[in-house]
Amino acid sequence: MQNSLCKQALSDVWGRLNSSLIVRGEGSYIFDDQGNRYLDFTSGIGVTATGHCHPQIVGAIQAQANQLLFGQLNCMLPEITLRYATALRAQTPASIETFFFSNSGAEAVEGAVKLARIATGRPNVIAFEGGFHGRTAMTMALTSSKKVFREGFQPLPAGVFFSPFPNSFYYGWSREETNRFCLEQLERLLQTQSSADETAAIIIEPVLGEGGFVPAPAEFLLGLREICDRTGILLIVDEIQSGFGRTGKMWAHEYSGIRPDILTMAKGIASGLPMSAIGASHELMSRWVPGSHGGTFGGGSAVSMAAALATLEVIENEQLVENARAMGNELKQNLETIFSKYSVAADIRGYGLMVGVELTRDGKPDKQTAINIQAACLKSKLLLLICGTGGNVLRWLPPLNVSSEEINTACKIFESAIKHCVS
């Protein structure tokens, strides 16, 4: 009864992995109204990074709610917002000194593009094939991970050009060959379609998220940095999915040591409260004419700020970046062992707790097996998502404080699912 009511009242535009009614969450688990317990290895697409209802986050939200719920940034300077910006500054690379806050990842990317345009006086943006940056007009235009995100909504805003992402598994080439090809194609794009003088920014996810959990090799990112330095194009690093410790470093771009000009952040930022941020240097941010960017809610939710501040504290105090790295290695080792036993072709990859398992059959994406495994896991109460252009990448996004025991439980369920699906 409740389920059918729920179906009528909520838009069908949400694809739903699990349609049971969830009433509570605790750590790596969620509970439905029938008392069933599910191991949540989606973390709400990387949002509940400290697990569900971490007591310190809940406590910070409750305390803040008693003090100030909302302080609109154009009208006042909420102390908690300034405290959070200062704390975030201590966690970002030296090039990222100052922040603009908004509510969603897409909003942060929209703002980053506006900042790049106003700062450079140039119109165009280069994005990468397979990238995902959101579902608003400009961010749809920057997205090419799947046709569903664009189809039926075109024409999209102009001034966006795509270059190939260094996905050596897709190309079937060595990492070196793939990097060389992709950097050459980017140079060619600058020679043929959008000259450097017309290009405000290059935007990249250091690990492709929706596009299939593919890390960009360090040499490629360093190549991008070199092109940007040579041409004055700004480098926007979109860490909306990969940031805040998810990859076993605070920021995934640290694996390459590149310097972002603009950093976009969201998802795990506030452990579940809606919030996002754009970071840049003082010099860059100062090129924004006051009032030319903003929003009623951006930065104003004192409760989100308190949750974000507590999230940073939990990440630091509980050493969640280190845990993500250690648990990610354990997870990948378990997955390697599992796949060595079955005749399923799988590429297991990723940093930290952003792990993808790409399934192929006869060299082609094997979407059906991915769907079958996901469904079998759900039956055994393990929630896993799928991503990738071919819909054939099982993606692992447990909370950053997941335990070794929970990883083992999930891997046992996963192995039974594979056994069930391939036999």
Ligand X SMILES: Cc1ncc(COP(=O)(O)O)c(C=O)c1O
241 touches ligand X (CB under 6 A): yes
Compare residues 183 and 397 and give the one whose CB is closer to ligand X.
397
Burial class for 165, CB neighbours closer than 10 Å (0-12, 13-18, 19+): buried
Compare residues 64 and 264 and give the one whose CB is closer to ligand X.
264
Other Cβ atoms less than 10 A from the Cβ of 404: the count is 12
The CB-of-125 to ligand X minimum distance in angstroms stands at 14
Options 237-245, 293-301, 328-336, 337-345: segment touching ligand X (CB under 6 A): 237-245
Rounded to whole angstroms, how far apart are CA atoms 69 and 400? 27
| CB-facing half-sphere around the CA of 107: CA atoms within 13 A | 18
52 touches ligand X (CB under 6 A): no
Compare residues 387 and 421 and give the one whose CB is closer to ligand X.
387
The owner of tokens 């703002």 is 111
205 touches ligand X (CB under 6 A): yes
Compare residues 100 and 132 and give the one whose CB is closer to ligand X.
132
DSSP E strand stretches across 229-310 = 234-238, 262-265, 276-280
Site size for ligand X (CB under 6 A): 15
Over its C-alpha atoms, the chain yields an Rg (Å, rounded) of 21
Question: Mask: binding to ligand X, 358-397, rule CB under 6 A, as x and -?
Answer: ----------------------------------------
235 in Cβ contact with 225 (< 8 Å):
yes
Nearest to 269 by CA among 73, 75, 91: 91
Residue 156 gets which letter from DSSP?
A: P
Q: What residues form DSSP beta bridges with 235? A: 202
The CB-of-103 to ligand X minimum distance in angstroms stands at 8
Compare residues 206 and 390 and give the one whose CB is closer to ligand X.
206
Residues 92-121 that bind ligand X (CB under 6 A): 104-106, 109
Residues that bind ligand X (CB under 6 A): 45, 104-106, 109, 132-134, 205, 209-210, 238, 240-241, 266
